[in-house]
Amino acid sequence: MNPFSFNEFQDQVDEVLIRHKSILDILTKLQESSSKINRAVAKSVTDCGCIQVHSQKQSAPTDISFSELQNYLTNHVEGYLCDVCKEKIGEEISNNIFYIAALCNTFNINIDDMLANYASQLKTLGTYGLL
């Protein structure tokens, strides 16, 4: 199997995206695909039951460093996705990324370059870049 390339993926998206080529279609399909991710996660909880969400206010001691904060915070998910739910959520995320690629194509943004630049910023700024 060849390593994945966003450049090739962007080219594939450009080749197959014909019907929803308008920026309005791309933006609304992107939003729709994001909603489908949320729906697939919710169905994993409420329909399948392979995961549970136990949420509450996040709390941590006030005298800790920012880097220690991750030891106190949780994603509120308990359990693990079953194979069916993992595949469904993966499909919805892939569809979302498809429309991200279409959006990038519309504005001539190279995803590899964009992500390399972002990764470089993350590396430089570390956790302070996300505050």
Angle formed at CA 84 by CA 83 and CA 88, multiple of 5 degrees? 115
In the structure encoding, which two tokens stand for residue 54, read together?
């136990």
37, 45, 50, 77: which one binds Zn ion (CB under 5 A): 50
In the structure encoding, which two tokens stand for residue 68, read together?
């220690």
Pick between residue 29 and residue 88 the one whose CB is nearest to Zn ion: 88
Of the candidates 52, 115, 48, 54, the one whose C-alpha atom is nearest the C-alpha of residue 87 is: 48
Binding segment (CB under 5 A) for Zn ion, from list 67-75, 79-87, 107-115, 122-130: 79-87
In the structure encoding, which two tokens stand for residue 25, read together?
């279609």
Interaction between residue 85 and Zn ion (CB under 5 A) = yes
Pick between residue 13 and residue 89 the one whose CB is nearest to Zn ion: 89
The residues of the shown chain that bind Zn ion, judged by CB under 5 A, are 44, 48, 50, 82, 85
